[in-house]
Structure 1
Amino acid sequence: MDGSSAVVVGGGIGGLAAAIGLHRIGWQVTVVERASTLEDAGAGISLAANGLRALDELGVGEAVRNASRGQYSGGTRTPRGGWLARMDGSALERAVGTPIMGIPRSTLHRLLRDALPAEALRIGAEADSLQQIHPGTVRVGCGNTVLDADLVVAADGIGSPMRSRLFPAHPGPAYSGSTVLRAITEHPVDPGTDFELTWGPGAEFGHIALPDGRAEWHAVLNLPAGTRFADPLAELRRRFRTWHDPIPALLDATRPTAVLHHDVHELRTPLPSYTAGRTALLGDAAHAMTPNLGQGACQALEDAVTLATAPTVQAGLAHYDAERRPRGQAVARAARQAGRMGQQLSHPVAIALRNTAMRLTPSRAATRMILRHHAWVPPRLD
């Protein structure tokens, strides 16, 4: 794109990736992150082929792969340990060139930050105003500082204040009905497989094996929004005490203080546009989705590459909205449906029907369903 400067509001995965893309095509980029320290909080994350291809185009794919572990073995199970579906990571690799890769979220954040000049990051600076001062310039206020730019990228998360300013009539995020607890084990463990999901009535437990031998685990529960536990780890041990190995072992290998707990929200009402003036919404600010397809970060990475690939700002923003809004909103709908048919199911008859259907689905058909989301090819950055 033409132009020379951009302000990216939000220093998460999508914001950093957008900054890298614009920096690679010669722009001066400033990332404004309201957190005063970058503590690299978070558990693990899975990256599918579409996200990895986007990272390749941004120039950081090799570094991310080197810090990740491929997911070749595993699948979906019942609480007693029976298999509903086996994952064939080798078949997926043959189809799209890579298996799904597991990486600590903190490592991914660090690798993305390392791809930017240190002076591009403004930590502890909250964007508190947004103003189009004339047709070619937009101004972001950060306390006593103002930043003028040719483009603003709103990558400030699911509760995006920027989105609220740009689309004040939009209802914002809605609670999905599920809450998630997650952590990385304190020391190496052997979970037996690279990746697993286990579905019980209104509950899911999953793990990702990480390259250093530790494992990330997550537990998703159907609960009212705002539910919290005095001792989250003890509560999970109680709820999952009869579930198959290695679930109890993963919980036993975790420090109580390492457990993170977040309610799962989504943008159930689609945005009418991913752009407004010279501002583009990106990642969760544009299309926050449930995690049931593992596509949240991958869609943000797709956003980032697409944003940087048009010849002019105006044409680029129109192209970005036309390319990203249909796909991002379609993936969000698919993720919501996957949750309703997976972790959120609680009626015994519905669970039995789903489990039977999964056991009868040929592995090739399951792989084709995955490819609908993974088989995305990024545009080239010039």
Structure 2
Amino acid sequence: MAQPKRAVVIGGGIGGLTAATALHQRGLEVTVLERAPSLEPVGAAISLAPNSLRALDVIGLGDEIRDLAAWQGDGGLRTPSGRWLSRTDPGAVAERFGGPLVLLHRATLVTSLAAGLPPGAIRTGVTAAVTDPGAADRPATVRTPDGELEADLVVAADGVRSAVRETLFPDHPGAAYSGFTTWRVVIPVPGAEFASHETWGRGRIWGSHPLKDGRVYAYAAALAPAGERAPDERAELLRRYGDWHQPVPAILAAARPEDVLRHDVHHLAEPLPAFHRGRVALVGDAAHAMPPTLGQGGNQAVEDAIVLAHHCADLPAYSTARLPRTTAIARQAVKVARLNLMTSRAGIAVRDALVAAVSKAGPGLVLRGFDGIADWRPPQPPYASVVSDPGTR
């Protein structure tokens, strides 16, 4: 396939906007079609690891995001009583993986990505469908309410329930329920001072992390039947987590019912045969939706986008580069979900003892699980400087 000149991106989330920005910088005319009325994402934060920050360096945004984000400092893993099972060392993370772990609101990242596109490139409130994936001798076709668009490249970044994926691979079973549901809040918590933590209970987890703007990002996950909902999700969180260690009760006390978002978790249990067909390429959750237990879903979407821009004239090479990596990471995320949401009391006791023992042996053993993930580097050189020492911020 010749070097594409025009690209249509379906989906204005993190993966879609990263792809649009990267393709625009390669000289393509880019149109982003987002079905929501605005780009304002659902209120939650995203953790970016060194691998995705290096990917953002390629499009000149890495240092900007590092500056806007909260760098993850001392923290670790706890039990519901508050006992520390392991402590994190930000210096060890930076040394091992070549950069920090940072946290910021998704809206901040989306705003920065969108700012890199020319005026008029993003169209919101537009539903889009691929009617022809195209081939070497013809462009792909995308249908919108205003008519059809032809493109040398279509990027499908339309999420876990991707309609484009279903069009390209109609025999694939699609997303499966992962067995657990999640809650998220981003709120101010006056007077709250705490170290970032994730806490593992019996079939439940909770995480609390301060953001740079002074607000707190908290998330919870629990085993639950698919589709189950409570009349008042804040009250449901109080029932499940109200007796856990601080700052969990303080965060719940500061939250209002309308602050709490709840979503069931779905993933692609069966990998796709490829991440492309014809002139259409899938990125992010559309390609490899995974549980959030490694914090890599958004990170992998950013990686996808940068690698796709690199291989935009050779989509089979894109599939070859991305499918094995994301499949392995998705499988690891499923295994971690089983570990931190286990319900056997005996198993939990063994798990916690092992985590504590590994932590005492040194940070290197704790971080080893992210070898091959957080140390990834993009196929093209970065355009921006990379600050890896938290002490030099």
Shorter chain as denominator, the TM-score bin is over 0.9
**Which amino acid counterpart does residue 49 of structure 1 have in structure 2?**
P
Which amino acid in structure 1 is aligned with residue 339 of structure 2?
A: M
Q: Aligned pair in 2 of structure 1 residues 187, 250: CA closer, same or farther (>3 Å)? A: closer
Output the CA distance in 1 between the equivalents of 2:133 and 2:182.
39
Q: Secondary structure of the residue that 1:330 maps to in structure 2? A: helix
Residue of structure 2 equivalent to 1:233: 234
The Cα shift of 1:118 comes to: 2.6
Aligned to 1:378: 378
Check whether the contact 1:188–1:212 (CA below 8 A) recurs between aligned residues.
Answer: no
After TM superposition, give the deviation of residue 151 of structure 1 in Å: 0.5
Tell me by how many angstroms 1:371 deviates. 2.8
The one of 314, 317, 327 equivalent to 2:315 is: 317
Asked if 2 retains the 8 angstrom alpha-carbon contact of 1:10 and 1:154, the reply is: yes
Structure 1 residue 309, shift from structure 2 partner: 1.1
Moved over 4 A (4+): none
In structure 2, the partner of 1:198 is 199
- The residue that corresponds to 1:184 in the other structure is 186
SS of 2:310's partner is: coil
Q: How many residues align?
A: 377
Deviates more, 1:270-279 or 1:126-135: 126-135
Equivalent-residue separation in structure 2 for 1:283 and 1:155 (angstroms): 6
Q: Which residue of 1 aligns with 2:175?
A: 173
Return the alpha-carbon distance in structure 1 between the equivalents of residues 316 and 372 of structure 2: 24
Q: Distance in 2 between matches of 1:97 and 1:217?
A: 27
CA distance in 2, matches of 1:37, 1:286: 23
Residue 73 of structure 1 deviates from its aligned partner by 0.9
1:350 alignment partner AA: G
In the TM superposition, what whole-angstrom CA distance separates every residue of 1:231-284 from its partner, at most 9, and x where no partner exists? 111111122121111110111122221111100000001101111111111100
Distance 2:100 2:190 in 1: 22
Match of 2:336 among 335, 338, 344: 338
Q: Secondary structure at the match of 1:272?
A: coil
Give the TM-score, by structure 1 length.
0.96
> Residues of 1 paired with 2:133 and 2:373: CA distance?
36
Distance apart, 1:129 and its partner CA: 3.6
Matched, 1:46 2:47: yes
User: Is contact 2:77-2:85 (8 Å) kept?
Assistant: yes
User: What secondary structure does 2:188 align onto?
Assistant: coil
Q: Structure 2-normalised TM-score?
A: 0.93
Alignment of 1:27-176 (within 5 A): 27-132=28-133, 135-176=137-178
Give the superposition deviation at 1:133.
5.3
Gaps of 5+ in 1: none
Structure 1 residue 45 displacement after superposition: 1.1
Q: Distance in 2 between matches of 1:218 and 1:93?
A: 25
Q: Deviations over 1:202-223 (max 9, x none)?
A: 0000012100111100010100
SS at 1:243 equivalent: coil
Distance in 1 between residues matched to 2:282 and 2:317, nearest whole Å:
13
Distance 1:129 1:283 in 2: 17
Structure 2: how far apart are the matches of 1:284 and 1:230?
29
How far 1:296 sits from its partner (Å)? 0.3
2:352 to 318, 333, 355: 355
Q: 2:291·2:333 contact (CA, 8 Å) conserved in 1?
A: yes
Deviation of the 1:85 alpha carbon: 1.3
Q: C-alpha displacement at 1:189, in angstroms?
A: 4.8
Equivalent residue number for residue 286 of structure 1: 287
Counterpart of 2:390 in structure 1 is none
Cα pair 1:189 1:214 within 8 Å, conserved: no
Alpha-carbon displacement from aligned partner over 1:7-54 (angstroms, at most 9, x marks no partner): 111000000000011001100011110112233322111100001111
| Paired AA for residue 120 in structure 1 | A
Which ranges of structure 2 fall in alignment gaps of 5 or more residues?
Answer: 384-393
Which deviates more from structure 2 when the two are superposed, residues 128-137 or residues 154-163? 128-137
Instruction: Name the SS for the 2:228 alignment partner.
Output: coil
Sort the Cα spacing of 1:188 and 1:41 in 2 relative to 1 into closer, same or farther, 3 A.
farther
Distance (Å, rounded) in 2 between the aligned partners of 1:132 and 1:105:
30
The CA distance in 2 between the partners of 1:189 and 1:38, in whole Å, is 32
C-alpha RMSD of the superposition = 1.5
**1:166-199 alpha-carbon deviations (Å, 9 max, x no partner):** 0000000000001001111135553411x21101
> Residue in 1 aligned with 2:389?
none
Cα distance in 2, alignment partners of residues 133 and 89 from structure 1 = 47
C-alpha change, 1:28 and 1:84, in structure 2 (3 Å) is same
Aligned CA distance change for structure 1 residues 192 and 66 (closer, same or farther; 3 Å): same
